[in-house]
Amino acid sequence: MADPLLSVVQVVREYGDRVRTRALAGVDLVLDRGEFAALIGPSGSGKSTLLNIVGLLDRPTSGRVILDGTDTSGLDERALTALRARTIGFVFQFHHLLPAFTAVENVMLPAWADEGVPSRAMRDKALELLDAVGLSDRASYRTNALSGGQQQRVAIARALARGPQLVLADEPTGNLDTASSDEVFDLMRNFNRQFGTTFLVVTHDPRIADRCTRIVEMVDGRVRSDQIRSS
């Protein structure tokens, strides 16, 4: 059996100096390659903290995060940045697109930032992704001229621009109406099925969670339940 893509081992995250607040209290989580999992739980349960640690944006107080066979515990910031860039894509509730840039330029940004200058190959890849999310006719539009659902589709294309193995989506449908939410979910699920990209989706929407193949519930900084569902 193939090694899992992600192993979170007894991860604890505490904040503060004199008074310590424990956001994560010994979390264990394994994601196999190709999974499409929902991460649910009430506000303050530790979902976003866990997502930041899995995304290598924050370090645990104790415990280990093993990503694509690499134990990240001993990596310095430069090595973490390199691992994150080649392995992880991010989709947020607030898409963080640059309004002065066009849709295609926004999708190019991860590779552009990594390589320093834009190239025809970057543009061709970005156009291919925009076509995949149904926005080839909006490639030259500035993103502030797009609807909320269209902007989130651009954000999904951007998250996939570097061919990540893992996409972390934090409330990706939180600001969208029901129809747009379904469209965005379907796009992510199609990429998951077509390319085997692993998704971990934080959501408060039970409709979205019910359509995932696995539901991990967090309460008080711990995993309370972990349910595999039919695909």
> Does the residue 21 lie in any domain?
yes
Q: Is residue 154 part of a domain?
A: yes
Give the domain extent around 37: 6-223
pTM over 0.85: yes
Residue 230 falls within a domain, yes or no? Answer: no
- CA of residue 208 relative to chain centroid, distance: 15
CATH number for position 207: 3.40.50.300
The pLDDT assigned to 105 comes to 93
Tell me whether residue 203 is in a domain: yes
Q: Does the residue 51 lie in any domain?
A: yes
User: What pLDDT score was predicted for residue 30?
Assistant: 96
Asked if residue 213 is part of any domain, the answer here is yes
Number of domains in the chain: 1
- Using alpha carbons, select from 178, 162, 149 the residue that is nearest to residue 122: 162
Q: Is residue 228 part of a domain?
A: no
- pLDDT tens, position by position, for the chain (231 residues)? 568 999 999 999 999 878 788 999 999 999 999 999 999 999 889 999 999 999 999 999 999 999 999 999 989 999 999 999 889 999 876 767 888 899 999 999 888 877 778 789 989 999 999 998 888 899 999 998 988 888 888 988 998 888 899 999 988 887 778 888 888 888 889 889 988 999 999 998 888 999 999 999 999 999 999 998 765
